Amino acid sequence: MGSRLTGSIRAKKAVPAYRMHRAREWVQGLLEMQQRAGDSLEFIENVKIDLFPDEVYVFTPRGDILELPKGSCGIDFAYAVHTDIGNHCVAARVSNQLVPLSEPLESGATIEIVTSPTGRPSPSWLNWVVTARARTHIRHFLKDQRRDDSLALGKNLLDRALMAHDTRLSAIDDATMHTALASLGKADIDALVIDVALGNTLPHIAVAHLTNRYDDAAVSGEGATLGIRGTEGVGVAYAKCCCPLPGDAIQGYLGQERGLVVHRDSCRNLVDLREQRDRLMSLHWDEDIDRTYPVGLRVQVENRRGMIAVLATRLSSIGLNIERIATQNKDIQFTFVDLELQVSSRIHLARVMKRIRIIEGVLKVTRSARR
């Protein structure tokens, strides 16, 4: 083991001298513990003790040593290895055991990062990472992703509104575009498109300038229905108050700085929002949607031991994972169990609810908002 460790350090020539010195001290400590340990189990327990309280030293699969701040997780490690690995990591394998990316690392572990071409950073990662490098790269990626998503959404919204005038954004001539941008105070077409996506400039107002029509028809906000594919990224959000699913009748609300928020047509919050008709969008679900959406369920069950386990087992048997579960006692006899699940459509949800209703001890199942 000693030759492997010292060889690994020798390979890291790019590491600053002070870090190499700290790493050598750590490795020397490991060697001394190995010599003093009575058996392998005792040695492993000793390795778990952090020799430097403010850092952790972990191994790459090739045996190289990386120094990270205490509390670092798999995401910190991934970005320390390479930015592309960090941007596409989906899980971490710690000493051959698959663990969540958020799990803190301990000194002495060998870390292997699992990546996927479709993997990408999530805003929640900022709650887990501790290194400045990881935090900077995550924020940079999210900023670029938000810009790309906003450009795509903004163009769709403008094209939708322009269809009422039998034209498209690509058909607007340069002179008209320049005049419209100047009137709207936008530096370029990208700035206008992004502002439309974020709700800072309403589509029909932009269209009025792009078509030189300022009558009631031009500023009514009406146009072709916008299709939701589920791949719009951060430019489109799904309201937590009603959890819309493919198959639900939906409407969109273009909130300022929030982008397009999708609601079920029956959502109570739309009652107030309908007073702002110029910000409402007619939406429909695209035919080809291949993803899942979060939805809340409230299950009323008999207040007896083991009901939670029965519910979890039944949902697991049909291939569903419980994202969140909470209980609320109604009275001595009955309990409410609030679940958050991922389903693909309204039809899928109906099948799940049917399977839950036939469980002994379940009295009622209703769809609810996520909590």
Q: Which of 238, 265, 285 marks a domain boundary?
A: 285
Q: Domain check: are 272 and 307 in the same one?
A: no
The two structure tokens encoding residue 370 = 């996520």
Average pLDDT in the chain? 83
Q: Domain check: are 26 and 118 in the same one?
A: yes
Q: Domain check: are 38 and 93 in the same one?
A: yes
User: Residue 250's pLDDT is what?
Assistant: 93
DSSP reduced 3-state for 190 = helix
Q: Which of 285, 307, 324 marks a domain boundary?
A: 285
- Residue 39 pLDDT level (bands cut at 50, 70, 90): low
Q: Domain check: are 115 and 170 in the same one?
A: no
Q: Domain check: are 279 and 156 in the same one?
A: yes
The answer to the question of residue 358 being in a domain is yes
CA atoms within 13 A on the CB side of 158: 29
Q: Domain check: are 280 and 304 in the same one?
A: no
The answer to the question of residue 135 being in a domain is no
Question: How many domains are contained in the chain?
Answer: 3
Q: How does pLDDT run across 309-363, given as a tens digit for each residue?
A: 888 888 888 888 788 888 887 778 889 999 999 899 999 999 999 999 999 999 9
In angstroms, the Cα distances linking 182 to 117, 202, 209 are 41, 16, 10
User: Residue 217's pLDDT is what?
Assistant: 44
Q: How does pLDDT run across 94-153, given as a tens digit for each residue?
A: 988 888 899 999 988 999 999 988 788 988 899 999 999 999 999 999 888 888 888 988
Q: Hey, which bits of 239-349 come out as E strands?
A: 250-255, 259-264, 280-285, 293-302, 322-329, 334-343
Q: Domain check: are 357 and 325 in the same one?
A: yes
The answer to the question of residue 362 being in a domain is yes
The answer to the question of residue 150 being in a domain is yes
What's the CA gap between 353 and 105, in Å, rounded?
40
Q: Domain check: are 201 and 311 in the same one?
A: no
Going by C-alpha positions, the residue among 360, 295, 362 that lies closest to residue 324 is 295
Domain containing residue 364 = 293-368
Q: Kindly tell me the burial class for residue 271, based on how many C-beta atoms sit within 10 Å of its own C-beta (0-12, 13-18, 19 or more).
A: exposed
pLDDT value at 177 more than 70: yes
Q: Domain check: are 222 and 351 in the same one?
A: no
Q: Domain check: are 159 and 213 in the same one?
A: yes
Average pLDDT over residues 72-90: 94
The two structure tokens encoding residue 36 = 């003093």
Which CATH number does the domain housing residue 48 bear?
A: 3.10.20.30
Q: Domain check: are 313 and 244 in the same one?
A: no
CB < 8 Å & 24+ apart, contacts of 223-226 = 223/160, 223/161, 223/162, 223/163, 223/164, 223/282, 224/160, 224/163, 224/164, 225/160, 225/282, 225/283, 225/284, 226/156, 226/157, 226/160, 226/252, 226/281, 226/282, 226/283, 226/284
Q: Which of 130, 160, 178 marks a domain boundary?
A: 130
Q: Domain check: are 194 and 275 in the same one?
A: yes
Q: For 124-164, what is the HEC assignment?
A: HHHHCCCCHHHHHHHHHHHHHHHHHHHHHHHHHHHHHHHHH
The answer to the question of residue 136 being in a domain is no
The answer to the question of residue 147 being in a domain is yes
Its pTM stands at: 0.64
The answer to the question of residue 25 being in a domain is yes
The answer to the question of residue 179 being in a domain is yes
